[in-house]
């Protein structure tokens, strides 16, 4: 912009109006540009504001409200939080939620990484890569609930798994812990969420230049050394994105735990859903706020390890 | 040129399904020489290089290095090292760790391998860049790092897959002379795949011209350029005229053709079609019986001493020794 005044002052008198109008046009152009960027970003800002920020603020506000057995009333009191942190059940349930998340994370990572590795490095043709990848997604054409329920006839007391084991003579009594147990919960979690691990890891692996693997082989690296020195470091962002998906999904789940544990196990999601069923919204809101804070802290810790920005 | 540590390719063949990429080639590459595999894309030169490196399985035939059959050995145990076309530097490792990578794979302690890597970096003039990441380097610098990384294994043969093709023309010339200097000072063999005649002529002790999976001709750059054995080589190297005479085909270098406005001894009649001034030389396109499209390259001083014009009738002649009969 500094060019304009100089040229205007250096110009002869007849040119001055021209220069001034050019300057005006430039200023207007800049203002228009600014306005355009505000307009362009406003739909997203509105959507996120109305559907994300506002509800969360609502929850935070309600978490300070008071409740009796039959009513809730606006207030600013810490009773909900006091009750929450004062109860041993809270700590147990939060601990259980973390345990579920950790175990599910380990299994989904192991399976997801293996599947992605197979797809990216062992399947040679792009056609087969795409075909097999789509095959992985087919179960996701049905709802979570259906996929969960489909485990029941398999794992039940007289289910396929038990009758097969009985017939083979490996057990005398049907295994009780197969269904309606923590085992069943973790099994369903792994089944439901492994794809969320596969997709981002596969995505980063496909971006690894295959000649890097050759270069490593040329330098004498064994298969395992290639994996630990080249592929895992370069797939880290994908691993991290997948981990965030899985951890947040498991931490926020309540239906899987209810179904697969036969209501014998609890996690934070179920705590909240119970409160809601009893119309104890302030208490549910307080638990939700604590859970949200926990999940955000976990994600913040994960992001400290890996820079995922280059993936986005 | 000793045969002792030579590389020998015997009936080397590579098939991809039904397609034959390399068709039973036989070639001896003496140790301590700079060899260029030259040819158009798809001629099998890269497949040959990758088979020598061990990154491509051999369909049939043998690769023998210094008396050892290395056909089925893994890449790192062959005594070869490869420099990849796009350099293939590990993006997550610093320059020094890239160079030290193969030593790390061997389990050599960190300080020792870094010290060795530093001497290699000094060799390629990159000593002060050890802590950078590859993405922070220019194309030419990345290439030096790739060179250092390949050389740290002390290979007997360095294999270079189109090493200069990713560089801009100015850098290409500089790296070209540097590659040659490095090869001479290290005394090991370089095998360099390229599709550029200029590059091959400037660098090579021996050029192997390939086409359709076969070796068309192998020899010193002078042999190849001066006396091409086949029409393909003559056309690919350029600067040659293919002239059909008495049922045979001959290659005659464009700069060995004499032109005159008066009839020459054993001269043939031709008509000047076009004139191209190139600075030090002038290309005169001619229409001659038996060769409708031949070019005579005349030095600019000779041309301007007695200029020709388009449409002019001239006499064309060449020495018998300059006409090389081409294999059918």
Summarize pLDDT for B244-282 with one digit per residue, the tens.
877 788 899 998 988 888 888 778 888 899 899 998 999
Structural contact between residues A132 and A119, judged by C-beta atoms closer than 8 angstroms: yes
Summarize pLDDT for A158-215 with one digit per residue, the tens.
888 888 888 888 888 888 888 888 899 999 999 999 999 999 999 999 999 999 999 9
Residues A108, A58 share a domain? no
Residues A50, A92 share a domain? no
Residues A28, A108 share a domain? no
Q: In this complex, do A211 and B84 lie within 8 Å of one another by their Cβ atoms?
A: yes
Position B4 scores a pLDDT of: 67
Q: Record the pTM.
A: 0.79
Alpha-carbon span A250 to A260, nearest angstrom: 13
Residues A253, A133 share a domain? yes
| Chain B residues 97-126 within an 8 A CB cutoff of chain A | 101-102, 104-106
Residues with Cβ within 8 Å of residue A126, at least 6 apart in sequence:
none
Alpha-carbon span B225 to B233, nearest angstrom: 8
Q: Between the CA atoms of B220, A218, B51 and B71, what dihedral angle is there, to the nearest 10 degrees?
A: 110
Give me the residues of chain A with pLDDT under 50, please.
Answer: 1-14
Q: How many CB pairs under 8 A join A and B?
A: 63
Contacts of A216 in chain B (CB under 8 A): 90, 101, 105
In chain B, pLDDT over 90 holds for what percent of residues? 59
> Quick one: residue B132, left, alpha or beta (phi over 0 = left, psi -120 to 50 = alpha)?
beta
Residues with Cβ within 8 Å of residue A27, at least 6 apart in sequence:
A1
How are beta strands B206-211 and B34-38 bridged, if at all?
parallel
Min Cα distance B88 → chain A (Å) is 5
Residues with Cβ within 8 Å of residue B212, at least 6 apart in sequence:
B23, B43, B44
Summarize pLDDT for A203-250 with one digit per residue, the tens.
999 999 999 999 999 999 999 999 999 999 999 999 999 999 999 999
Q: Which of A55, A78, A56 is nearest to A293 (CA)?
A: A56
Residues A123, A216 share a domain? yes
On whether residue A178 sits in a domain, the answer given is yes
Q: Mean pLDDT in chain B?
A: 90
Summarize pLDDT for B142-154 with one digit per residue, the tens.
999 999 999 999 9
CATH value at residue A157: 1.10.3720.10
The ipTM of this complex is 0.81
Alpha-carbon span B248 to B253, nearest angstrom: 17
On whether residue A51 sits in a domain, the answer given is yes
Residues A289, A158 share a domain? yes
On whether residue A165 sits in a domain, the answer given is yes
Min Cα distance B259 → chain A (Å) is 53
Position A310 scores a pLDDT of: 62
In chain B, pLDDT over 70 holds for what percent of residues? 98
Min Cα distance A218 → chain B (Å) is 5
Contacts of A220 in chain B (CB under 8 A): 74-77, 102, 105-106, 153
Domains of chain B: 7-226 (3.40.50.300), 242-325 (2.40.50.100)
Of B75 and B265, which is predicted with more confidence? B75
Provide the 3-class DSSP secondary structure of residue A179. coil
On whether residue A311 sits in a domain, the answer given is no
Contacts of B92 in chain A (CB under 8 A): 233-234
On whether residue A53 sits in a domain, the answer given is yes
Position A149 scores a pLDDT of: 85
Q: Tell me which residue in A212, A225, A233 faces B105 most closely, judged by beta carbons.
A: A225
SS3 of A230-267: HHHHHHHHHHHHHHHHHHHHHHHCCHHHHHHHCCCCCC
Min Cα distance B82 → chain A (Å) is 7
Residues A92, A34 share a domain? no
Summarize pLDDT for B78-108 with one digit per residue, the tens.
989 999 988 999 999 999 999 999 999 999 9
Alpha-carbon span B218 to B38, nearest angstrom: 10
Residues A91, A57 share a domain? no
* Closest-CA residue of chain B to A219: B102
Chain A contacts to B (CB-CB under 8 A): 209, 211-212, 214-222, 225, 229-230, 233-234
On whether residue A194 sits in a domain, the answer given is yes
Residues A277, A209 share a domain? yes
Domain that includes residue A139, residue range: 87-303
Sign of the Cα torsion A302, A303, A304, A305 reads: positive
Residues A91, A32 share a domain? no
Residues A151, A28 share a domain? no
Question: Based on the structure, what is the number of domains in chain A?
Answer: 2
Q: Where is the domain boundary, A62, A96, A116?
A: A62
On whether residue A9 sits in a domain, the answer given is no
B209 touches chain A (CB under 8 A): no
Residues A26, A108 share a domain? no
Helix (H), strand (E) at residue B23:
strand B19-29
On whether residue A46 sits in a domain, the answer given is yes
Contacts of B150 in chain A (CB under 8 A): 218
How many CB atoms are closer than 10 A to CB B210?
27
């Amino acid at each position: 912009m500094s060019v304009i005044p100089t040229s205007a002052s250096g110009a002869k008198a007849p040119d001055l109006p021209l220069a001034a109008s050019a300057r005006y046009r430039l200023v207007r152009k800049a203002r228009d540009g600014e306005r355009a960027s505000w307009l362009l970003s406003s739909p997203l800002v509105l959507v996120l504001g109305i559907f994300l920020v506002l509800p969360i603020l609502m929850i935070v506000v309600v978490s300070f409200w008071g409740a009796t057995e039959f009513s809730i009333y606006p207030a600013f009191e810490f009773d909900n939080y006091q009750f929450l942190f004062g109860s041993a059940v809270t700590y147990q349930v939060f601990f259980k939620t973390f345990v579920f998340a950790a175990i599910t994370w380990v299994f989904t990572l192991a399976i997801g990484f293996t599947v992605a590795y197979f797809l990216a490095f062992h399947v040679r043709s792009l056609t087969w890569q795409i075909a097999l990848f789509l095959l992985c997604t087919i179960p996701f054409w049905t709802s979570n609930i259906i996929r969960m329920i489909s485990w029941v006839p398999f794992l039940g007391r007289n289910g396929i798994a038990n009758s097969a084991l009985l017939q083979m003579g490996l057990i005398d009594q049907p295994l009780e812990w197969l269904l309606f147990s923590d085992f069943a919960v973790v099994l369903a979690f792994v089944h439901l969420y492994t794809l969320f691990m596969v997709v981002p890891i596969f995505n980063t692996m496909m971006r690894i230049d295959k000649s890097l693997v050759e270069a490593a082989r040329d330098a004498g690296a064994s298969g395992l050394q290639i994996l630990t020195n080249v592929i895992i470091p370069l797939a880290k962002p994908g691993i991290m994105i997948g981990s965030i998906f899985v951890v947040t999904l498991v931490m926020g789940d309540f239906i899987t735990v209810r179904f697969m544990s036969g209501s014998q196990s609890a996690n934070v999601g179920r705590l909240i859903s119970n409160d809601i069923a009893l119309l104890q919204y302030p208490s549910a809101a307080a638990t939700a706020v604590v859970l949200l804070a926990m999940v955000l802290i976990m994600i913040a810790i994960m992001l400290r390890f890996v820079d995922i920005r280059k993936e986005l | 040129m000793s045969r002792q540590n030579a590389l020998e390719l015997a009936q080397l063949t590579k098939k991809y399904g039904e397609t034959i990429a390399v068709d039973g080639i036989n070639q001896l590459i003496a140790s301590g020489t700079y060899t260029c595999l030259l040819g158009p894309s798809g001629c099998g030169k890269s497949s040959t290089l990758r088979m020598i490196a061990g990154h491509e399985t051999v369909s049939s035939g043998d690769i023998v290095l210094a008396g050892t059959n290395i056909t089925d050995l893994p890449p790192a145990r062959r005594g070869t090292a490869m420099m990849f076309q796009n350099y293939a530097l590990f993006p997550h490792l610093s320059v020094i760790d890239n160079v030290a990578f193969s030593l790390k794979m061997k389990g050599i302690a960190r300080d020792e391998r870094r010290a060795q890597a530093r001497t290699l970096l000094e060799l390629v003039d990159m000593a002060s860049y050890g802590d950078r990441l590859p993405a922070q380097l220019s194309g030419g610098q990345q290439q030096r790092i790739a060179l250092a990384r390949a050389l740290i294994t002390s290979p007997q043969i360095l294999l270079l897959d189109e090493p200069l093709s990713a560089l801009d023309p100015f850098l290409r010339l500089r790296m070209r002379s540097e590659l040659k200097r490095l090869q001479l000072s290290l005394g090991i063999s370089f095998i360099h795949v390229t599709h550029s005649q200029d590059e091959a002529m400037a660098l090579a002790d021996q050029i192997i011209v390939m086409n359709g999976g076969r070796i068309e001709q192998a020899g010193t750059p002078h042999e190849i350029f001066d006396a091409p054995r086949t029409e393909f080589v003559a056309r690919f190297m350029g600067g040659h005229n293919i002239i059909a005479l008495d049922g045979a085909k001959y290659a005659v270098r464009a700069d060995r053709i004499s032109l005159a406005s008066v009839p020459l001894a054993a001269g043939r009649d031709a008509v000047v079609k076009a004139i191209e001034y190139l600075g030090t030389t002038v290309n005169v396109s001619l229409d001659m019986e038996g060769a409708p499209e031949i070019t005579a390259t005349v030095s600019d001083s000779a041309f301007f001493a007695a200029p020709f014009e388009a449409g002019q009738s001239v006499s064309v002649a060449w020495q018998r020794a300059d006409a090389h009969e081409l294999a059918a």
